[in-house]
């Protein structure tokens, strides 16, 4: 059984799929320690990739859909439907290359937040929480990899909204110029200051969780 089927059969509650909720949870604290996504997006050029290809090993983690049943209950893992991809950096194709110029490939880091939910026979109100942030990488041009960013994302990183972060309120948000997603374009600190000035928080409002 998948997590989706477990939700449909009322074994699990539905997670909050609003972008506000997903980005807030992704920047929160999983069981194994604090999320490093705010630090990542404030120190590295990053982009928000909604629904990356599910049929590629490096990008499929955004759409993980698993449910593990047990006599005492069950555990679900569900991708949040997006990944955070870093700008590429150049690496040598061969580890012992010393002569210049040398052949290179471009590597992109891919971070995919994942919901988790545990339910037991005695639990009355199970909740979804940040279970993990799964890391993978696209090694474009590496001799041992067939992955090419142009195959997975034909228009490149320029087609994705730039992702930002705030250390104070631990909020993730995108540049205001990106208008195709229903995602906050200001952090909670800005929202508070704008509310005091009677100016509403800006969001982009044309995206649905449904593909």
pLDDT tens for residues 13-72? Answer: 999 999 999 999 998 865 555 568 999 999 999 999 999 999 999 999 999 999 999 888
- Whether residue 182 is contained in a domain is answered as no
- Whether residue 127 is contained in a domain is answered as yes
Rounded Cα gap, residues 28 and 170, in angstroms? 7
Domain that holds residue 26: 3-162
- Whether residue 74 is contained in a domain is answered as yes
Q: Which two tokens stand for residue 62?
A: 């955004």
Task: Look at the chain and report how many structural domains it folds into.
Answer: 1
- Whether residue 12 is contained in a domain is answered as yes
- Whether residue 60 is contained in a domain is answered as yes
- Whether residue 79 is contained in a domain is answered as yes
pTM for this model (two decimals)? 0.83
- Whether residue 176 is contained in a domain is answered as no
Contacts of 202 (CB under 8 A, 6+ apart): 176, 184, 185, 186
Contacts of 178 (CB under 8 A, 6+ apart): 161, 162, 185, 204
């Amino acid at each position: 059984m998948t997590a989706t089927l477990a939700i449909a059969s009322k074994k699990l509650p539905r997670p909050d799929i609003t972008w506000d909720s997903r980005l807030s949870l992704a920047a929160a604290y999983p069981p194994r320690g604090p999320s490093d996504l705010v630090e990542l997006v404030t120190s590295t050029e990053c982009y928000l990739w909604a629904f990356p290809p599910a049929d590629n090993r490096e990008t499929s983690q955004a759409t993980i859909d698993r449910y593990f049943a047990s006599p005492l209950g069950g555990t679900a893992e569900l991708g949040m439907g997006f990944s955070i991809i870093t700008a590429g950096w150049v690496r040598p194709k061969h580890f012992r290359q010393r002569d210049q110029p040398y052949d290179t490939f471009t590597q992109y880091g891919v971070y995919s937040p994942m919901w988790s939910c545990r339910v037991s026979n005695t639990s009355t109100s199970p909740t979804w929480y940040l279970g993990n942030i799964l890391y993978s990488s696209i090694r474009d041009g590496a001799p041992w990899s067939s992955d090419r960013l142009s195959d997975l994302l034909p228009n490149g990183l320029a087609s994705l909204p730039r992702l930002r972060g705030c250390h104070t309120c631990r909020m993730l948000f995108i540049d205001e110029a990106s208008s195709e997603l229903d995602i906050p374009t200001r952090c909670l600190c800005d929202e508070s200051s704008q509310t005091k000035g009677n100016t509403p928080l800006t969001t982009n409002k044309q995206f649905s969780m449904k593909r």
